[in-house]
A and B are shown apart, each in its own frame.
Chain A
């Protein structure tokens, strides 16, 4: 078929450019997902306890998909420049498989973000924070994770509870079983602390006097990083897949037109 040498070269150039972008995006996706998996905010124990940690699974898939995209883009560039049918067929098939995995990662991240509601964290906090009787080792591990994470959250973000300190007053909890309401209307970490890590005035904190206890909830501090994580994986992956779709269609067309 007469296509003219120039238009073929232009098409080849476009495909090579497309693959270069895919390679760079693959590296970026790997880096982004590694960042999310390392959990810089230390919120993973909360998700692990809610048994809803699939946004981390999506990030793990993203790491490997990103690396695969990078490797396949190099294969694609070689195949297009050499106009080699076998190379390009291998490229197309492996890209389709990678495409499927990345699609799974995006959908998982987007879907499981929806499950992370304030009520979910509230229930976990009330049921596990400083719970004293453990059923088994798994329970003990989750309790330890939840307790340490909440203590750190409340201390670093100067917040209390999920929606506010009233969470501890409105609901009974594992914490309430161990600590009497008269002494601990809410955990000590809800009090404003001095430099040594003890409340500046305990009676003020117990009575709820403004300035001596943290009156805002921690949900913003939790949902902010979670949203960034989930949307970062889902939407960046979606963008990569849209671009890869175009490049793949172009490569399939190019492959079907190569003459032996």
Chain B
């Protein structure tokens, strides 16, 4: 019985809420694990955020603006005086340094049937699911240098820089901004380290190296000692035996003439 009033109250709150607490945020971290990268940020598309501002029989487009956080001191306006969206490009704002630039245009995401994230596992459906679910800022590396490129250019972002993003709902026929989110929380792209700084020192010597070296050194020492001992014992032994044979030959010579003397 209180449901229509409750629904109405929620609708009003929702309209207020869309303006005051909704911000763009990163795509689900369990899905897009490599986010943000050095030069790209994957944002979740604004599902069911602007639905309260949508009127039937009208077509809308969502605009995505990006700027460096440092630019918020200079200018963070995304509309001009007549509520039309600002038509700034990446080059004009020096990559978002002087103010927000328009990074993308896309159609309003379908709130009634959002993409099922579980379908990501299916190779055939994954492209569609990704296209409907998230948008990758900084995806296009060639549009900046292509003079024939006429659409909205989404060049790679700068590394190690904080960016903020904003979604805007624009009526495509009138070209007027109908609704917008707040600026997102600051999102920082990755920073890189130099490979020169990688420390390749192996640390302490391992146990097996110490065991092998010490035991083998001891064994070699014992072998050499044994070799010297056996050589010296052979040399001394041959001196002893030659001395013995000399003694024996002398005693034989001495004993031989004696019987001759006694027989005579």
Contact = CB atoms under 8 A, between A and B. Distances in A.
B103 to A, nearest CB: 13
B195 A207 contact: no
A203 to B, nearest CB: 5
Given A99-B220, A114-B205, A115-B202, A107 B212 contact: yes
Interface in A111-169: 111, 113-117, 119-120, 122-123, 126-127, 165, 169
Nearest to A126: B195
Interface stretch (B8-16, B76-84, B105-113, B121-129): B121-129
B216 A114 contact: no
A92 interface: yes
Contact of B192 (A106, A117, A170, A183): A170
Give chain A's interface secondary structure class.
helix
B208 A172 contact: no
A226 to B, nearest CB: 13
Interface residues of B, number: 57
Contacts of A172: 192-195
B72 interface: no
B263 to A, nearest CB: 37
Given A241-B216, A252-B227, A256-B233, A171 B126 contact: no
A119 B201 CA distance: 8
Nearest to A165: B34
Contact of B195 (A99, A123, A165, A203): A123
A92 B227 contact: yes
Nearest to B237: A256
Contact of A242 (B193, B213, B219): B219
B140 A201 contact: no
Interface in A14-30: none
B42 interface: yes
Given A100-B220, A171-B195, A208-B33, A117 B200 contact: yes
A171 B192 contact: yes
Given A201-B127, A209-B126, A169 B222 contact: no
Contacts of A115: 202
Given A107-B216, A185-B37, A252-B230, 16 more contacts: A96-B224, A110-B213, A122-B195, A169-B34, A180-B156, A181-B37, A185-B38, A203-B126, A203-B127, A203-B136, A207-B35, A209-B130, A211-B121, A215-B33, A234-B208, A241-B216
7 contacts: A96-B224, A111-B205, A122-B195, A169-B190, A208-B33, A252-B227, A252-B230
Interface of B: 27, 30-35, 37-40, 42, 120-121, 123, 126-127, 130, 134, 136, 138-141, 156, 159, 190, 192-195, 198-200, 202-203, 205-206, 208-209, 212-213, 215-216, 219-220, 222-224, 226-227, 229-231, 233-234, 237
